[in-house]
Amino acid sequence: MIPESQWRWAGYPAHLCVSYMCRWWMCTRIGNYVISSIGHYVPDREKNEMETIGAGPKDFFETMVFEADDLEDPFSWSGYELEQKRYADAEEAREGHMETCRHWADFDPTESCR
């Protein structure tokens, strides 16, 4: 287990090419994994309306997990997603991000997949 005191936090989103249009994000490096959450996607600033980022009608936020691929850049990742979850609102997304962080902090790659 990797204790929360060793988690590294970033002040920017780590995935989605249009993440600069998202008004909410969390990004955490835990061991060899990057957990990135984004949401509140507003592509048209004039309309100022939040749009979904997934196929579902309430997919306004998402968390994705990637394997880190560079020890020098703590938030560099492989691009291959290991896990993805979507949420309807920011509170669900924050809770989901933290739950995902705890899961990957406990993950032992030498054990069989969960």
pLDDT at 105 over 60: yes
Structure tokens of 88?
């309807």
Structure tokens of 74?
């703590």
Sign, CA torsion 21/95/15/7: positive
pLDDT at 110 over 90: no
- For residue 57, what are the contacts with CB-CB under 8 A and spacing of at least 6? none
| Distance between CA atoms of residues 75 and 27, nearest Å | 8
Whether this model's pTM surpasses 0.85: yes
Where are the domains positioned within the chain? Answer: 4-104
Per-residue pLDDT, 79? 72
Arithmetic mean of pLDDT over the chain: 90
Per-residue pLDDT, 72? 66
Q: Give the mean pLDDT of 65-92.
A: 85
- For residue 38, what are the contacts with CB-CB under 8 A and spacing of at least 6? 13, 15, 16, 19, 22, 24, 25, 53, 61, 62
| Distance between CA atoms of residues 17 and 13, nearest Å | 10
